[in-house]
Amino acid sequence: MADYDAVVVGSGHNGLASALVLSRAGWKVLVVEQSDVPGGASKSRELTLPGFVHDVHATNIGFFLGSDTFQEFKDDFFANGFGISAGDQPYASVFPDGDAVCGYMDPQKMVGELARQNPPTPRLGRRCCRSSAG
Ligand SMILES: Cc1cc2nc3c(=O)[nH]c(=O)nc-3n(C[C@H](O)[C@H](O)[C@H](O)COP(=O)(O)OP(=O)(O)OC[C@H]3O[C@@H](n4cnc5c(N)ncnc54)[C@H](O)[C@@H]3O)c2cc1C
């Protein structure tokens, strides 16, 4: 440990961003991670069928693309294999009754989807809360 200027505990995106900033400032940084897979709650894994990659936790991480960290390091990210995969239906919350609330990039479609949940806000909120509570 004496060989490092900083030790970052955890390789979630906050830990990795911290390590990047410190490294760029010339610090020698060690990142320690308890899991066998880095990335914390932002990682994706093949959880069901081969070739189908799922978000394990966080789904809506689009704001990262507008972050200072992404702007500062994006060239390095892309040079090291980072890629963006975006679709027009990026996510959905499914419910036990077989219905689902789908997220759309198209604002009109999104409004239509929310309107389908009529009355939109209270029912959607209740269903999301029930779903989250398991
Ligand atoms: C189910 C779920 C859904 C979410 N959905 C979204 C979403 O859609 N959009 C969004 O923006 N955010 C979402 N979040 C929140 C987002 O995932 C977190 O804000 C983000 O992951 C926090 O990043 P972090 O680097 O601080 O911590 P984490 O991502 O939690 O990473 C912490 C890391 O530290 C490691 N660690 C912990 N303790 C130790 C230790 N003692 N020694 C070594 N390693 C250690 C862990 O293994 C882990 O890898 C969601 C979170 C959850 C749980």
- Lookup result for tokens 């009355």: 119
Specify whether the CB–CB gap between 56 and 44 falls below 8 A.
yes
Q: Which residues line ligand 1 (CB under 6 A)?
A: 9-15, 32-35, 40-42, 57-61
Write out pLDDT tens, residues 24-38.
999 999 999 999 999
Residues in contact with 111: Cβ distance below 8 Å, sequence separation at least 6, in sequence order? none
Structure tokens at 126: 């209740």
The structure's pTM equals: 0.79
Q: Tens place of pLDDT for every residue, the chain, 134 residues?
A: 679 999 999 999 999 999 999 999 999 999 999 999 999 998 889 999 999 988 889 887 778 888 999 999 999 999 998 888 778 888 888 889 888 888 888 888 988 888 887 655 555 555 555 554 44
Strand boundaries in 36-99, DSSP class E = 44-46, 53-55, 91-94
The angle that helices 107-116 and 120-132 make with each other, rounded to 10 degrees, is: 80
Which among 57, 60, 63, 101 is the best mutation to test ligand 1's pocket, defined by most ligand atoms within 8 Å of the CB? Answer: 57
